Chains A and B, each alone.
Chain A
Amino acid sequence: MCNTYLVLAYGFLWCIFMVYAGTIHHRQQRLEKELEELKNTVHGQDAFGSGNS
């Protein structure tokens, strides 16, 4: 009943999509963090600029 090739094919498919979706999620989180940091820097700079003027 349990065919090795069938298990390998579906196992591979499941793994590759899990890993790929995981890498996209990981990249998104990293970029969102970077964007947040940059926004904070820009806001900090704006506040500093308006304080000076």
Chain B
Amino acid sequence: MNKAFPPPLHLVVTLAWLCVAGYMIFLYAPQELTMGEVQRIFYIHVASAWTALLAYFLIFLGSVGYLWKRSSFADDFAHAAGEVGFVFCTCVLVTGPLWAKPVWGIWWTWDARLTLTFVLWLLFVAYLMLRSYVINPGRAGVLAAVVGIIGFVDVPIDYMAIRWWRTQHPQPVIAGGEGSGLDPRMWVTLLVTWGALLCLFSYLLRQHVRLAGLRREIAHLRRSLGSSLGG
């Protein structure tokens, strides 16, 4: 992966894709009739939310992999997905109220979708706190994996919340059944924006996995240095 698609090239592709997404959001996508300009927050809000849900799914996969095979790569992967996912989930919780205030007249309400997204953010925080505050790395990995697996229950419920219950949050415009839908240009813009954020997500993820690799290498060298001094 590193040879075929080195990180600097990945970064350049990400920045170029983000520029294209920016162009499409502000110049290509049509203005929504009732909400006006502020509706353009939709593209980054929805794309960030999908990416945050995907990040938690990756934590789940990495956690299962770690508990099953005790693979250090799976552990590093889950940790990286947790940290990067936390950033995306924070974006959802910031852009949501910035969109809600001018449209609903309120910053926040404790309806099902918003509350479950807040719970998801708390799960990311709990996951990262466990990784930081448990001193024994093996124990931290196991405890974090347990939180990663149990917490995953929130993801499908959060996704389905606006389909199962009538909430303040708008009903789904994508895969929401009859009467839902988007202008084709809005659709394309949303997909291009999500692609750009996925590219950014994967760049940050691989950089974080590399950090974990460096940490392991340092710990290994320290141990060998300590044993040779002790011997």
Contact = CB atoms under 8 A, between A and B. Distances in A.
A24 interface: yes
Nearest to B213: A31
Contacts, number: 77
Interface string B216-231: 0110011011001000
B225 A45 contact: yes
B211 A3 contact: no
Interface in B199-223: 200, 204, 207-208, 210-211, 214-215, 217-218, 221-222
Interface stretch (B35-43, B59-67, B148-156): B35-43
A42 B36 CA distance: 63
B90 interface: yes
Contact of B44 (A1, A13, A21, A32): A13
Contacts of B214: 28, 31-32, 35
Contacts of A41: 225
Interface stretch (B93-101, B113-121, B130-138, B176-184): B93-101
B87 interface: yes
Interface string A1-30: 111011011101100110011001101100
Nearest to B224: A42
A9 B41 contact: yes
A44 B91 CA distance: 48
B210 A5 contact: no
Given A9-B99, A12-B95, A17-B200, A35 B218 contact: yes
Given A21-B204, A24-B208, A3 B36 contact: yes
Given A31-B218, A38-B222, A42-B225, A6 B40 contact: yes
Interface of A: 1-3, 5-6, 8-10, 12-13, 16-17, 20-21, 24-25, 27-28, 31-32, 34-35, 38-39, 41-42, 45, 49
Interface of B: 36-38, 40-41, 44-45, 48, 84, 87, 90-91, 94-95, 98-99, 101-102, 200, 204, 207-208, 210-211, 214-215, 217-218, 221-222, 224-225, 228
